[in-house]
Amino acid sequence: MTNDFWETASPLYKKVVFSGMAFLGVGIVLTVIANLSHITWLVYASMAIIGVGLVTHLAGLGIRVRDAKRRLKQ
């Protein structure tokens, strides 16, 4: 068994990172749809969804740092 971070990552970290990636993916798809359809309000809504995805992803990085610090203390 390799000892990479993903195998030893906490379930919370995995959930937060996947949630962030899902928000980013949905936001990008909605942005493309909105721009092709010329729907202005959907462009702004999709930008907000992308922002939520970025914030969620950054929260996942914070959780990763916290877990790494806990692992080093042991």
pLDDT digits (tens, 9 = 90+) for 18-63: 999 999 999 999 999 999 999 999 999 999 999 999 999 999 999 9
Q: What DSSP character marks residue 38?
A: T
- How far is the C-alpha of 59 from the C-alpha of 68, rounded, in Å? 14
Residue of 46 and 1 predicted with greater confidence: 46
**CB under 8 Å to 21, separation ≥6 — which residues?**
53, 57
CB 56 within 8 A of CB 20: yes
Split at pLDDT 50, 70, 90, the class of 1 is low
Give the pair of three-digit tokens for residue 19. 């949630």
- Domain layout of the chain by residue ranges: 11-73
Q: What DSSP character marks residue 7?
A: H
pLDDT for position 4: 78
pTM of the model: 0.84
